[in-house]
Structure 1
Amino acid sequence: MAKKISKTNAARILDKEKIDYEILQYQPEEGANDGVSVAAKIGFPVEVVHKTLVAAGTSRQIYVFVIPVAEELDLKKGAQAAGEKKIEMVAVKDILPLTGYVKGGCSPVGMKKPFPTFISKKAEQQPEIIVSAGRIGMQLKMSPADLVKVTAGELAELTVSGH
């Protein structure tokens, strides 16, 4: 009998919203779970696989940014998208208490509270994108439009130029 995949909170939300997705699994390795390694493990180009970053604005509001794994968040563009003077990345130790997810397994779907979410405009160029399913070793493949819908996200220019 095939081992049943235990669904993550993110997957349950997608089911509830009747959004099509596919769960992709990979074997996590000590120290090699950065997005570029994950893309290689699941056999998808880095442009398709996206990472979820959590930042705080000057107003102390928490924001979520979803960008391609091989790229870097441009803090100025992120602040502009969020309407903040500036934003800074949240400390790793604060990610779990804020989102309910651990670093490396942080899904933009199903955080403890809905935070304003911004998705890289580059996601629109892909028929499907891949984001964390909320657990290290598990990813969700879905359409960018569905991700925008389920996170109430906004598309924005978010990455450092030249990437």
Structure 2
Amino acid sequence: MAKQKETKTNAMRILESLKIPYTHMTYECDEFVDALQIADILSLPYEKVYKTLVTVGSDRGYYVFVIPIARELDLKAAARSVQQKNVEMIHVKDINKVTGYIRGGCTAIGMKKQYVTRIDSTAQQLEKIIVSGGRIGSQLELSPADLARATGAEFASVSTSPSGENASSAHRPLHG
């Protein structure tokens, strides 16, 4: 029987064109599941899995933030990191129009346009992080520095714990 060829996502093609190494992981899913559920399905430590959030700034421009799945975007810190008075999350219905991706399959790699992107500084403590592969059922593991190179991103402290603790003061050991 012939081996089934892996279907590459746009994000994977971009990483390959930049000669950036990555590991592709897949999971079965018929509908949207949140990033915490994906980590559970793939038995991944929450600290390594990052979600991609898209915001609109006070200048009406779009800004992308990549943060740990168990943390929340600190809107004030995020706005400061992109020199905006404020940023707010875009509406779910606008994700595809703005990024070219769908909810649950959104990645900072290969969006319709190259938006200003910030990766939470917590990623710099890790050798590898895991982000969406650009479609539901696909995840990519790569180094934070390589993600920054592929997206033109900079690192900034832009997340907070659900209890309000800023990323720069939060440190939890990896488990899993």
Could you state the TM-score of these two structures normalised by the residue count of structure 2? 0.89
- Note if 1:145 corresponds to 2:145: yes
Q: Percent identity?
A: 47
Answering whether residue 121 of structure 2 is matched by residue 106 of structure 1, we say no
Aligned partner of residue 150 in structure 1, secondary structure: helix
Instruction: Provide Cα deviations, 1:31-50, integer angstroms capped at 9, x if missing partner.
Output: 5x111111111121011000
**One-letter identity of the residue aligned with 2:16:** D
Equivalent position amino acid for 1:58 in 2: S
Q: Which has the larger radius of gyration?
A: 2
Distance in 2 of aligned mates of 1:112 and 1:98: 7
Partner of 2:117: 117
Structure 2 distance, partners of 1:37, 1:154, is 27
Q: How does 1:1-163 map to 2 (within 5 A)?
A: 1-30=2-31, 33-160=33-160, 161-162=164-165
Query: 1:69 Cα deviation (Å)?
Result: 0.6
Distance in 2 (alpha carbons) for counterparts of 1:156 and 1:86: 16
After superposition, the C-alpha distances for 1:115-152 in whole angstroms (9 at most, x for unaligned) are 00000000111110000011000001000010011111
Amino acid at match of 1:113: K
Q: How far apart, CA to CA, are the structure 1 residues paired with 2:3 and 2:156?
A: 41
Give the Cα–Cα distance (whole angstroms) in 1 for the partners of residues 56 and 118 of structure 2.
13
State the one-letter code of the partner of 1:120: D
Structure 2 CA distance, aligned partners of 1:8 and 1:73? 26
Whichever residue aligns with residue 152 of structure 1, its letter is: G
Letter in 1 for 2:23: E
Shift of 1:29: 4.8
The SS at the match of 2:46 is: coil
Q: Distance in 2 between matches of 1:40 and 1:136?
A: 15
- Corresponding letter in the other structure for 1:84: Q
Shift of 1:3: 2.4
Which whole-Å CA distance do the structure 1 matches of 2:3 and 2:43 have between them? 22
In structure 1, what is the Cα distance between the partners aligned to 2:28 and 2:124?
28
Note the alpha carbon deviations across 1:54-106, whole angstroms, 9 max, x for none. Answer: 00001011000000011100111110111100000001111101110001100
Between the aligned partners of 2:107 and 2:116, the Cα distance in structure 1 is: 14
Give the unaligned 5+ runs of structure 1: none
Opposite residue 118 of structure 1, the aligned amino acid is R
Note the aligned Cα RMSD (angstroms).
1.1
Provide the secondary structure at the position in 2 that maps to 1:96: helix
